[in-house]
Each structure stands twice: as structure tokens, then as C-alpha cells.
Amino acid sequence: MKARVHVMLKNGVLDPQGEAVRHALGALGFDSVKGVRQGKVIELDLADGTSEADVTEMCEKLLANTVIESYSVEMA
């Protein structure tokens, strides 16, 4: 069983990495990019029987800083 966790900074939280990417794209001539938000994807290979609630608990305790980040879980 696999799970994919998408972690992104919450709206209103400054994203210096995203801003650096936006600036670099502009320097390469991609002037149509007005903003970039950068996040991360975490893929978990799980034992059978692991629930989405278990993965959510992993996110709350370690995988995401819930003060400044939001996350979503996909189970496959």
C-alpha cells in the first residue's frame, strides 16, 4: 500500500524558495509567471492495513509543520 502526502506553505506565509524560482523564471524570459509556491511530496510505502488516519497522524506529528503548512493525503 502506498500513500502520497502533499505539503504546502499556508496562504499568507512567505515562500522565499518560490520567490527565487519565480525570479529565475523571469530571468529566463518567462515573464508570464506572476507567482510560485513551492512544496514537497512525500511518498510512503506502507504495510497493509495502514489507515489514512495513521498517515494523518504521521503528518500531524512529523511530516508537516501544521503551524505554517497544510497537507493532503492520497492513499493508493
Q: Look up the domain containing 42 and give its range.
A: 2-75
Q: How far apart are the first and last CA of the chain?
A: 6
CA distance 26 to 70: 27
Specify the pLDDT at position 11. Answer: 95
Share of the chain above pLDDT 90, in %: 100
Tens digit of pLDDT for each residue in 45-71?
999 999 999 999 999 999 999 999 999
Specify the pLDDT at position 43. Answer: 98
Task: Write the CATH number for 22.
Answer: 3.30.1280.10
How many structural domains comprise the chain?
Answer: 1
pLDDT band at 19 (very low <50, low <70, confident <90, very high): very high
Q: Is 0.85 surpassed by the pTM of this model?
A: yes
